Amino acid sequence: MPEKLKVVVLFGGQSGEHEVSLMSCTSVVKNMDPDKYDIYFIGITKSGKWLLFEGDVEDIQNGVWEASSKPIVFPADPSFKGFFLVDNPSQVYKVDVVFPIMHGPHAEDGTIQGLLELANIPYVGCDVVASSVAMDKAMAKAVFDSFGLPQGKYLVVLRREFEQRPQHIIDAIESALGYPCFVKPSNMGSSVGITKAHNRQELIEGLKEAGRYDRKLVVEAFIDCREIECAVLGNNDPQASVLGEIIPCNEFYDYNAKYFDDGKSRLIIPADLPEEKANEIRQLAIKAYKALDCSGMARVDFFVEKDTLEVYINEVNTIPGFTKISMYPKLWEATGVPYSKLIDRLIELALDRFKEKHPE
């Protein structure tokens, strides 16, 4: 029997998507083969504390984990290659690979990935630059433009500019984009801080709301669209899954529609599109993945205009939701990769990339 891989599943985090991460983590762990992996659960609390949890995986999802966990230190110093308990620094827990399942700022944005680079430990998913560029909607849009990927009209606005010259910013948005438009924090996720503005008053409120989450905001023209998503998996030769469609239960796919209005938003897999259109979108998904130099995994989201089926890229999610109702694992299941095989593959890809970066 070969030795089991020591995997840290990293969950929680300081972002607005903390709860989503707990749900994703529980579902990932339930699909990890206990014969192959020794799993450590490390949770990051909303205030940023790192804790080792040794209880039942069900107690992650319901939040009970936090009270019974022990504080740890996860050093950037590569001579440790692991972590230790605050109360017992002499016993180091060695780690072979980390699987971060956290979303949003300080999780999916290259920060955790940077720590793991310093610590010299392989990790699942995109590296520092792909993570941070994908997380920042304004940056990602600039890259998509430079690679000729089709996208809707948008403007990038600094919160400070809006505070100092509100009328100027509003005029610019009204003349470039009109109503309705979408106002978003540049760095966020799970629709946190996003609103749809139908008029000037809502635009002002939307800019203030988005400004609670980020100093940089993105405003986009509304696209009357279907929402189509593609799961991509791989390092240098990424593969695209079949496509899925989201039918949101609310006016748009907001936070409640994504995670809580259980069963009311619908996922349709495979999406009902002509084969040629589906292939075009899958090619674009791979192009976007390569444009951001992704590795491991990402879910690439598109807006497809209802009448014309014209395709626009929306965003690339480098740590997509992994809850039991999430699109990423479901798309791979529909493409012939069962959930537990998907986890195996992601871990293999993490180890492969590490070897590629650190040739002997």
Ligand X SMILES: Nc1ncnc2c1ncn2[C@@H]1O[C@H](COP(=O)(O)OP(=O)(O)O)[C@@H](O)[C@H]1O
Binding residues for ATP, by number, are 137, 182-184, 190-191, 220-227, 314-315
For position 144 contacting ligand X by CB under 6 A, the verdict is no
Known binding residues are 137, 182-184, 190-191, 220-227, 301, 314-315, 317
For position 302 contacting ligand X by CB under 6 A, the verdict is no
Of 338, 337, 127, 99, the C-alpha closest to 239 is 337
Stretch in the footprint of ligand X (CB under 6 A) among 21-29, 187-195, 288-296, 321-329: 187-195
Among residues 222, 289, 302, 339, which is the contact residue for ligand X, using CB under 6 A?
A: 222
Stretch in the footprint of ligand X (CB under 6 A) among 106-114, 141-149, 215-223, 230-238: 215-223
For residue 100, the minimal CB distance to ligand X (Å) is: 17
Sheet holding 97-100, edge to edge: 88-94, 82-85, 70-73, 50-53, 37-44, 5-12, 97-100
- The residue number with the shortest CB distance to ligand X is 253
Check if 21 is active-site: no
Cβ of 176: how many Cβ atoms within 10 Å? Answer: 13
How far, in Å, CA of 334 to CA of 279, rounded? Answer: 16
Helices 327-334 & 339-357 angle (0-180, nearest 10):
100
- Between 116 and 183, name the residue whose CB sits nearer to ligand X: 183
For residue 253, the minimal CB distance to ligand X (Å) is: 3
How far, in Å, CA of 270 to CA of 15, rounded? Answer: 31
Check if 326 is active-site: yes
Please check whether residue 246 is in contact with residue 227, taking contact to mean a CB–CB distance below 8 angstroms. Answer: yes
Q: Which residues of 83-93 are buried (b: 16+ CB within 10 A; e: fewer)?
A: bbbeeeeeebb
Task: Tell me which of 15, 17, 21, 131 is the catalytic residue.
Answer: 17
For residue 133, the minimal CB distance to ligand X (Å) is: 14
- Between 194 and 240, name the residue whose CB sits nearer to ligand X: 194
Please check whether residue 295 is in contact with residue 235, taking contact to mean a CB–CB distance below 8 angstroms. Answer: yes
For position 184 contacting ligand X by CB under 6 A, the verdict is yes
For position 190 contacting ligand X by CB under 6 A, the verdict is yes
Tell me: cis bond preceding 270? Omega within 30 of 0 counts: yes
Phi and psi at residue 18, in whole multiples of 5°? Answer: -55, -50
Task: Tell me which of 15, 186, 190, 295 is the catalytic residue.
Answer: 190
Contacting positions for ligand X (CB under 6 A) = 152, 182, 184, 188-191, 194, 220, 222-223, 225, 227, 248, 252-253, 301, 303, 314-315
Residues with a catalytic annotation lie at 17, 190, 326
